[in-house]
Structure 1
Amino acid sequence: MGRAEKVVLAYSGGVDTSVCIPYLKHEWGVKEVITLAADLGQGDELEPIREKALKSGADQSLIVDATASFIQDYAFPAIQANALYENRYPLSTALARPLIAKLLVEAAEQYGADAVAHGCTGKGNDQVRFDVAIAALNPKLKVLAPAREWGMSREQTIAYGEQYGISAPVKKSSPYSIDRNLLGRSIEAGPLEDPWFEPPEEIYLLTKAIADTPDTPTYIEIGFEQGMPTHIDGERLSPVDLVTRVNQVAGEHGIGRIDMIENRLVGIKSREIYETPGLIVLIQAHRDLESLTLTADVTHYKRNLEETYGQLVYNGLWYSPLKAALDAFIQQTQQRVTGTVRMKLFKGQATIVGRQSPNSLYSPDLATYGAEDVFDHKAAEGFIYVWGLPTRVWAEKTR
């Protein structure tokens, strides 16, 4: 007896998700498999993927263009949060998972499916992100993960697929595992599993090698409205066009490469390479604009919450009570984060060279050391006495 009657399967067109189709039907007794491939701006031609799903035995094959929602509803809130996992990774891949989970749940409800499925293995983060997000959105749906349970090696998986007409992939010249969307690329596996191995230039696609970047800098002005990126060099752009533009110009200057040893949620350390040119630049610009427009206590307190926010997203808790509470706090802080940040892009570096805002808290009359100075220097002596009083008392009592 099968585990489910009708299943919506997250589908990428790869070996594992293709083999999931006959496996669900023949091993687990699923009667109908509907595949769903999400277009998140990865640049792939999705019609061949749709056709491959049908050839692999899918009863229906869905393509959903969710790029606009991906940027507006997932990437931009993460930029407002300055979200970085372990202070380095801007969550380009992780941010896609709660959206894909939402699309799966919506499709299951639309087509009357009693389960959803994915092709994640038992060693990665994505299985957690999918399972937890789906449970948060519709706890009544079953979640099936064949690749986590079938126990087949890569070779056995290919052989199983061949039994059902799924052609073996042409031997890949590249040993790397790559995931891509509009925010960037993640590259892992193969020789990169050796943390001493230097990544070869061939793995990069969105960012130029420093030796190949222009010998003159590019200046770019990024405009924000309430913490959301809205303008490039004074031109208002849609979220998708804005990210595309910043990706291109930052990548041209070799900005956005990350090589890190990452702590996965399941307890494994993994070596990960990321290319996220636009996302890195936008977070850097946004954070700088906050320094101009937020009070010191809000800025400092928000920095602590940003680390928690990044961990929540990485750990698959996008749809969680704590994440919702942090969202409310972050949205409140963004009300005055409006202005423009000017950046110099050159030889792998994005350097902030100017910022301005109608809500600026910077006061030239207070900051200057010139004749215009209005700061009351005499007040400093009393302030220092009161500020240092606990230290003075402690010192007197411990001598």
Structure 2
Amino acid sequence: MRFESCFAALAPQLKVIAPWREWDMRSREDLLNYLAERNIPCSASLEKIYSRDANAWHISTEGGVLEETWNQPNEHCWAWTKDPEEAPDAAELVSVKVEHGQIVAVDGEAMSPYNALVYLNKKGIEHGVGRIDIVENRMVGMKSRGCYETPGGTIMMEALRAVEQLVLDKECFDFRQTIGLKFSHLVYDGRWFTPLCQSLLAAADVIAQDVNGEVVLKLYKGNVTAVQKRSDNSLYSEEFATFGEDEVYDQSHAEGFIRLYSLASRIRALNEQKK
């Protein structure tokens, strides 16, 4: 449906021929039997009957033992990443440079976002990064369970988030989160080529103008942690953030702010007392 929605937006005159909707096969078992009868090779089997979709960003695995939510994923449910328990005992540091919300260099080497993804995929796979076992809501209303692996993407998102935390004010950071959620729903539903989707991209580009900086991330047994971060556009000030003695913050200033900030709550409580 996602593909056909995009086809309709780009070339509405085309007719889509989808054999799977025309055949009398109703299950993965039917499909595997069809392939076996014709000696057509297939990586799946009746013992490992999983549905997989992959691209540069991630791979998803569904079906098989995952259809029962009480079953734990076995080793066949993960196609790319190393089991975090078997990942290297030594952590690895990766440095990422960000300009205008785009990753432009990794470990000191200039890269396009795509090449950075490919590079970080290898790092993430080795350290078991980016595994999730989720139950999602499909467009048709049913729920399905899947094991998703997004090794490089997880590292990239953590790097971008670390810079955003430094440079975006509260309102921009919150709105960027809102944009991301709505944008992901549109893409999931096959609505990339819509005015709303393009509008959200434009808004995100404006917010990303000051998202510039460098991040060092630690990869260790399935975890990604931003351990160093800096930016010329940082709104973080050590002078204002210190818990020690300083001359930039007077504790007495807080009293008036707190009284105004809590005014609505105070009035509501007084009204309740009158009842």
Match of 1:148 in 2: 21
Aligned partners of 1:289 and 1:341 also within 8 Å: yes
Aligned-partner Cα distance in 2 for 1:253–1:373: 45
Aligned-pair distance for 1:395?
A: 2.2
Match of 2:5 in 1: 132
Determine which structure has greater relative contact order: mean sequence separation of CA pairs < 8 Å that are 6+ residues apart, divided by chain length. Answer: 2
Aligned-pair distance for 1:185?
A: 1.4
Per-residue Cα deviation, 1:208-250 (whole angstroms, up to 9, x for no partner): 1123211111111111111111111222123333112211112
Alpha-carbon distance change, 143 to 380 in structure 1, aligned in 2, over 3 angstroms: same
The 5 Å alignment of 1:248-327 reads 248-327=122-201
Aligned-partner Cα distance in 2 for 1:141–1:295: 46
Alpha-carbon distance change, 313 to 218 in structure 1, aligned in 2, over 3 angstroms: same
Aligned-pair distance for 1:268?
A: 1.8
The count of aligned residue pairs is 270
Aligned partners of 2:48 and 2:76 also within 8 Å: no
Q: Could you state the TM-score of these two structures normalised by the residue count of structure 2?
A: 0.89
Aligned partners of 1:206 and 1:247 also within 8 Å: no
Percent identity over the alignment is 39
Aligned-partner Cα distance in 2 for 1:262–1:291: 28
Aligned-partner Cα distance in 2 for 1:296–1:221: 26
The 5 Å alignment of 1:1-399 reads 128-153=1-26, 167-169=39-41, 172=45, 174-399=48-273
Alpha-carbon distance change, 255 to 159 in structure 1, aligned in 2, over 3 angstroms: closer
Alpha-carbon distance change, 231 to 156 in structure 1, aligned in 2, over 3 angstroms: closer
Aligned-pair distance for 1:369?
A: 2.1
Aligned partners of 2:103 and 2:112 also within 8 Å: no
Aligned-pair distance for 1:158?
A: 7.4
SS in 1 for 2:262: helix
Aligned-partner Cα distance in 2 for 1:158–1:363: 61
Aligned-pair distance for 1:389?
A: 2.0
Is there any run of 5+ residues in structure 2 with no aligned partner, and where?
Answer: none
Aligned partners of 1:130 and 1:316 also within 8 Å: yes
Aligned-pair distance for 1:161?
A: 8.1
Aligned partners of 1:256 and 1:280 also within 8 Å: yes
CA RMSD, Structure 1 to Structure 2 (Å): 2.3
Q: Could you state the TM-score of these two structures normalised by the residue count of structure 1?
A: 0.63
Aligned-partner Cα distance in 2 for 1:232–1:226: 15
Alpha-carbon distance change, 377 to 258 in structure 1, aligned in 2, over 3 angstroms: same
Aligned partners of 1:188 and 1:271 also within 8 Å: yes
**Amino acid in structure 1 at the alignment position of 2:8:** A
Aligned-partner Cα distance in 2 for 1:251–1:362: 33
Aligned-partner Cα distance in 1 for 2:243–2:31: 71
